[in-house]
Amino acid sequence: MALSYEFSIGSVRAKEVSLFSSADVERLLSCKSENELAELLSDKGYGDGKTVDEILDSHTKAMWEYLKSIAPDFNIFAPFFYQNDVHNLKVVLKGIMSDTDYKELILTPCTISDEALKEAVEKRKFSLLPEWLSDAADKAYELLAHTGDARISDAVIDKAVMEKMLESAEKSDSHFLREYFKTYVFYSNIKIALRSSRTGTSMDYLLKALCDVDDFRKSSVISAALKGNDSLVDELSKYSEYGCKNAIDEYKKSPSAFERFVDNKLINIAKENCKRSSEGAQPILGYYLGCENEKRVIHIIASGLRTKTDADTMRERLRDFYG
């Protein structure tokens, strides 16, 4: 019998109660070592394994098994898998061209198999790939082969995936997906511009890297970025779109505060749209993003324990959570 969204929504609503609460996060922050964190996660039933990484891998596998079992249409997750597709393309491209092993770097789930990527790169037959990626893959190969510049090669591929995310969101008729991916692409552009303004770059690179999205003033951003970081920060401070001015206020404190603002912006879009929804795919997507956000919280705490960062500093770095 075909699954219904009514059944799926009821299932994820019951699952949501197991997502982290503030009290859960405080218990994680009270750990004195990575081993203690792993033990706490294991005792909570978060996943199997002796290390934090093993437990996270176990949890991720279990999450996907669950989502596959309850989602009426697993293709609803495709826009989120495209990021893994382009990561895998970069890995395969560089691995084959430098004759180094890349298999352990492949990410799943994805919409394109690593075998298909391998054949496309080895034969330089990028028509084997989906249309949205084939032209960008060919250009990236050409750039890497003739310039050795992995940065600009990656930029061409990253722009293709941003365009595909926006296209998929528009076709979905989902207000949530449109808002989520427009925000994601907007801030991806801002990150590229900020990084470029600090390291120095060319107009050609920025034109290849930046993706058109509603309310993103590409020409003004490029002009400011080419003048340096201070000029770009001044320019972006004038923008209200997507909360940009507030994001840049955080950037002035530190790049990590800016990253935290962006992550919180995205998870709060999910909370506002998905936790209140009672139909369609949005509650399932919200649960998925909540699980991904939990993993980010665990990574931040584990990293802090490895570097002996105090709990208050780790707390400042933590993202908002879905639960």
CA distance 84 to 161: 10
Residues whose CB falls within 8 Å of the CB of residue 172, separated by 6 or more in sequence, listed in order: 79, 178
At residue 64, the pLDDT reads 95
Q: For residue 109, say if its preceding peptide bond is cis, omega within 30 degrees of 0.
A: yes
How does pLDDT run across 191-207, given as a tens digit for each residue?
A: 999 999 999 889 999 99
Residue 1: what pLDDT?
47
CB 221, CB 193: distance < 8 Å: yes
Q: What pLDDT, on the 0 to 100 scale, is given for residue 148?
A: 84
Q: At what angle do helices 255-274 and 282-306 cross, to 10 degrees?
A: 150
Spans of the chain, pLDDT less than 50? 1
| Pairs from 46-55 (Cβ < 8 Å, separation ≥ 24) | 52/298, 52/302
Determine the Cα–Cα distance for residues 273 and 127; give it in Å rounded to an integer: 37
For the full predicted model, state whether its pTM sits above 0.95: no
Give the pLDDT of residue 2.
66
DSSP 320: P
Q: What is the pLDDT of residue 130?
A: 95
CA distance 196 to 236: 14
**DSSP for 182-214, written as a single string:** HHHHHHHHHHHHHHHHHH---HHHHHHH----T
Spatial distance between the Cα atoms of 105 and 110, rounded to a whole number of angstroms:
13
